Amino acid sequence: MPEADATTKAEKEFHANVPQESHAFFLKGSNAHDWGMNNRLARIFNPRSGKAVMLAFDHGYFQGPTTGLERVDLSILPLAPYADALMLTRGILRSVIPPASPNAIVMRASGGPSILKELSNEQIAVSIEDAVRMNVSAVAVQVFIGGELETQSVHNMTRLVDEGNRYGIPVLAVTAVGKEMVRDAKYMRLACRICAELGAAFVKTYYVPEDFETVSASCPVPLVIAGGKKLPELEALRMAHASIAQGAAGVDMGRNIFQAESPVAMIQAVRKVVHEGASPEQAFDSYKASKSVKR
Ligand code: 5RP
């Protein structure tokens, strides 16, 4: 039997006159999720800045040892301390990433075709039980709007959303733009909105220089942008800055970080833009300063 609590009512601190506050969750469109799902989202997105720096290095799942990812242990592990989340495959997670790593994990959960075949012919590639076993903060699935197997890829996403909802695991829908598609705001609005309407907790898309704010405004859940092909570092920082200024909740960049001349300096510069509101020029100055320090 526990000891009786002999404190009198007058001495107890019930604060009967202080109403309990209810707090809105900091990410847009995310109030109606369960606690576990929002706890996971809050590991990816920093609750202080409301933004995320995700490091994407899942490219090998369809294109093999991509430039800069030949040895993930050597090229990526030194960058991990500067990333909020790592976006990767389960093979790389289990073979290379130390389990003591504090990063949130966003697990690539679709796949199938290689670059030699029709890319939209993906299937779900990770069971939700394995995702739970790996303690992931989200699963990611490619959605090919306008692609040959559009419906199959959307169905992959909706099945993952159903399974993720059972366990509180958010789904990141990655809008894959086929070579034949025009990369403009009209396409991105269509693709992002479909993903959100069908249940994605957040969406990854590409920045477009014209009207990106209409893409983020018409997507009711947070958007993160991919980096895309390698750009000169200042241009990549300008893109990150513009996307955040126009409503993105973060970046999920790969090649523009791990193919930079100094990847460690680059991810730090990206952090300055995303979390600290630095201008691209300020961040580029710190990139140059940090690059000149021999690592
Ligand atoms: C594959 C992906 C990649 O993670 C994505 O392309 C991000 O990498 P990068 O910044 O190099 O484009 O989602 O479709």
What CATH number is attached to the domain comprising 140?
3.20.20.70
Average pLDDT over the chain, rounded to an integer: 95
For residue 16, how far is its CA from the centre of ligand 1 (angstroms)?
A: 52
Hey, is 72 helix, strand or coil? Answer: helix
The percentage of residues in the chain with a pLDDT greater than 90, rounded to a whole number, is 91
How many other C-beta atoms can be found within 10 angstroms of the C-beta atom of residue 135? Answer: 12
Query: Is residue 283, in this structure, part of any structural domain at all?
Result: no
Is 14 contained in some domain?
no
Strands (E) in 10-156, as ranges, are: 52-56, 85-88, 104-108, 110-111, 123-124, 138-143
Structural domain of 228: 29-259
Mean pLDDT within 31-39: 97
Q: Specify the residue with its C-alpha closest to ligand 1, atom 1.
A: 59
Whether 230 maps to a domain, the answer reads yes
pLDDT at 293: 76
Quickly state the pLDDT bin for 36 (edges 50, 70, 90).
very high
Taking the centre of ligand 1 as the mean of its atom positions, its distance from the CA of residue 159, in whole angstroms, is 22
284 burial (CB, 10 Å; 0-12 / 13-18 / 19+) is: buried
pLDDT tens for residues 72-100? Answer: 999 999 999 999 999 999 999 999 999 99
| pTM attached to this predicted model | 0.95
| 123-124 and 138-143 strand pairing | unpaired
Domain for residue 290, yes or no? no
Once rounded to an integer, what is the mean pLDDT over residues 7-34?
91
Torsion of CA 225, 229, 235, 238, to 10 degrees: 0
Number of domains in the chain: 1
Dihedral Cα 80, 82, 84, 90, nearest 10 deg: -10
For the stretch 134-189, pLDDT in tens is 999 999 999 999 999 999 999 999 999 999 999 999 999 999 988 788 889 999 99
Please count the residues of the chain: 295
Looking at the domain assignment, is residue 17 inside a domain? no
Whether 231 has a pLDDT exceeding 80, the answer reads yes
| 236 touches ligand 1 (CB under 6 Å) | no
Least trusted range by pLDDT, from 12-26, 46-60, 184-198: 12-26
pLDDT digits (tens, 9 = 90+) for 5-16: 778 877 788 999
In 130-288, the DSSP E strands lie at 138-143, 171-175, 202-206, 223-226, 250-253
280 within domain boundaries: no
Whether residue 295 is predicted with pLDDT greater than 60 in this model: the reply is: no
Just list the catalytic residues. Answer: 204
Would you state the pLDDT for residue 177? 87
pLDDT at 294: 53
Q: How far does the centroid of ligand 1 lie from the alpha carbon of residue 206, in Å?
A: 9
Q: Is the CB of 254 under 6 A from ligand 1?
A: yes
7 located within any domain: no
The atom number, within ligand 1, closest to the CA of 174 reads 13
- Whether 208 is in the pocket of ligand 1, judged by its Cβ within 6 Å, is no
For ligand 1, say whether the CB of 178 is within 6 Å of any of its atoms: no
Residue 228 Cα to ligand 1 midpoint, Å, equals 6
CB 227 near ligand 1, within 6 Å: yes
Q: Which of 156, 157, 252 to mutate to test the pocket of ligand 1 (most atoms within 8 A of CB)?
A: 252
CB atoms within 10 A of CB 65: 11
